Amino acid sequence: MTWGLIFINVLVFLFETTLPDPILERLFYVFGLVPAKITNPWWAKAVLGPDILGWGTFITCMFLHGGWVHIIGNMWTLWIFGDNVEDVMGHWRFLAFYILCGAAASLVHVFMNPVSAVPIVGASGAIAGVMGAYYTLFPRARIVILFPILFIPFFFEVPALFYLGFWFLEQLFSGTLSLSAPMLGGGVAWWAHIGGFIFGLFFNRIFIFSSRRVLERYKDEYTAFGL
């Protein structure tokens, strides 16, 4: 299922690259998540046009991406963490978990940015949920990260708990900063990342009720490769 999600995301992105900018922008407004369409549908209809999908954009937005860096970063992260979480949950439960993480992430973003008319796109919220699940399911895992120093790549092995914990704190800091100074947000849906991670952190156990044997397989240590 992880490879299937990567394939679909890449396929959709390659389709995006064939579209002229005006059509691509319209695509983002139709299939991306626009908080104002949820919180103020009458205003959104008057200003942005008819809302075809409504709450369906909570799902469709996670299959769109805004550029090469966006898609590569997201798919790389999904590849690192997704297959192990999928092993624990099983294929279809993992898919349900992934989609619910993305929906939860979008819901948090709408709550924190209720009047925003800017569409958000990307699988980051769903992948953040997978990362949250990995944080609790593989506490002894170690991750090899790439850190360039003076353009020379160096590889370091760090505990997954440290890596993911630091990542979450970074999102929380940036999200809080964006509330006080929105112009510093850099167009990143920080609170979607936070919401997805927290959902995955606390609700992953619901999806593994019949896959305990896989937990036993990974209980000692697992090393993943990160960036």
Where residue 205 falls among pLDDT bands split at 50, 70, 90? confident
List, in sequence order, every residue forming a beta bridge with 148; answer none if it has no partner: 153
Please state, rounded to an integer, the average pLDDT across all residues of the chain. 83
Mean pLDDT of 6-23: 94
pLDDT at 114: 84
The domain segmentation of the chain, as residue ranges, is 2-225
Each residue's pLDDT tens digit, 142-180: 877 766 666 666 677 778 888 888 888 988 888 887 777
What is d(CA 124, CA 196) in angstroms, rounded to the nearest whole number?
A: 8
Query: What percent of the chain is helix, strand and coil (3-state, nearest 5)?
Result: 70, 10, 20
Across 54-68, 141-155, 203-217, the highest mean pLDDT is recorded for 54-68
Angle at 19 (CA atoms; ends 61, 6), nearest 5 degrees: 45
Q: Which CATH class is domain 2-225?
A: mainly alpha
Long-range CB contacts for residues 12-19, cutoff 8 Å, separation at least 24: 12/63, 12/64, 12/65, 13/64, 13/65, 13/71, 16/64, 16/65
- DSSP for 1-29 reads -HHHHHHHHHHHHHHHTTS-HHHHHHHHH
